[in-house]
Amino acid sequence: MTKRIFSLSLLIVLCISIYANMSSPWRDGDLTSDAYSGKDIDILHESLQIKLIDFYTAKFTVAYRIKSDRAGKQIPLIFDTMTGKESNNGAFRAWLDEEELTISEIPSSYENPNALQWIDSLDNHLLYSKENSPDLIGLKYFEVDLTEGEHIIKVEYTAQANIYLSESVKEFTLKYNLAPARYWRSFSGLYIEIDKTGLAGSFETNLPDHGKMLTEPITHLYFTEIPSDELTITYTPKVNLFAKGIIGVGTSLAFVILFILLILLVIALHIWLVIKYRYKYPDRRFSQVALIGSVLVPVVCAAMSMLSLAIINGILGSYASFSHSGFYLAYSFAILCLLLIPLYIMLIILLDRYIKNKRK
């Protein structure tokens, strides 16, 4: 009987662990990207400013200095950002020479690219997507009467970072797609400013030749060529010294050690009470402490698994991600404790009988 209970417990824990491993550790953020330029537009310079508002949110301000070959009504740029969503901190906004513009969205119902030939800028998107029916959801544009010559187009929006939960502390990633710039008529330069003022942690980019680690509150980068198809900023919040120790040991191992210590404390307290009761009432047939405790202790031990998870996450701080995988681990131990109730009842009854016989 004992072997069957133990085997069933292991099988359930194994199933929960497999499910935990299948659960995606990624929480997707917002899409951000360079614009697609029109046929009669040269982009002379791009300025990209990224201000990290907090670890979850960043504000993007992108300025394009353009040159138009012709005068008249046209759509100079198509913007592929936010996948059709509005920012929590403000909508997608655009200005032409300091005058704010009205933004429109391309209807996603269009499936035939030929129906969209009136938008010159879309050609570059179709080339970039390399599909007959590209995803048009979230494409934004404005139509304006441009004069021939140079203009400044500025766009502004906020975006949510991608979050990776498989480490002890959340890892955040901002991604900005630079690949559309390869389809512009010209590329003269790119200025990037990354502002992480007020945020403590480890910050790095994937850009070459400029040092990956971002050590200054504000980093300034300049490129005469497209540095990469994608700009990636990866960052992890700073944790306290105690949390670093937990991470060094391993959060899962630290959780198991803490959980074992807590349940040993609970079981030891129960055994002490059982012994004390039997020494006080050696002639009683049943021990209320033994019987009630044999059911109550496994339930308390199950609760200790969730308490252990809360303690570990509390030490790691507000950016702890151990709860993602740790919940399944804690849940597995909780189920195991409840499944072992019959075994614990049997062991406590045997202990109580042994003490009772010893006292006779």
Residue 76: give its domain's CATH number. 2.60.40.3680
Residue 63 pLDDT class (50, 70, 90 cuts) = very high
Of 92 and 260, the structure prediction assigns the larger pLDDT to: 260
Q: Are 106 and 93 in the same domain?
A: yes
Among 211, 238, 265, where does a domain finish? 238
Model confidence at 36: pLDDT above 60: yes
Do residue 95 and residue 51 come from a single domain? yes
pLDDT of amino acid 16? 44
Q: How far apart are CA 2 and CA 339, in angstroms?
A: 11
User: Nearest Cα to 201, choosing from 245, 248, 244, 165?
Assistant: 244
Residue 202 shares a structural domain with residue 328: no
**Residue range of the domain that includes 349:** 2-24+242-359
- 62 backbone dihedrals φ, ψ, rounded to 5°: -120, 125
Provide the pLDDT for residue 108.
56
What residues have CB less than 8 Å from 24, skipping those under 6 apart? none
Domain co-membership, 51 together with 159: yes
pTM of the entire predicted model? 0.76
pLDDT at 153: 92
- The yes-or-no verdict on residue 144 having pLDDT over 60 is yes
DSSP E strand stretches across 123-224: 139-141, 144-146, 149-160, 162-164, 171-177, 190-195, 201-205, 218-223
Same domain, yes or no: 217 and 306: no
Residue holding tokens 């269009």?
110
150 in the same domain as 298: no
pLDDT at residue number 182 = 83
Domain tally, the chain: 2
Domain limit, last residue, from 208, 238, 268: 238
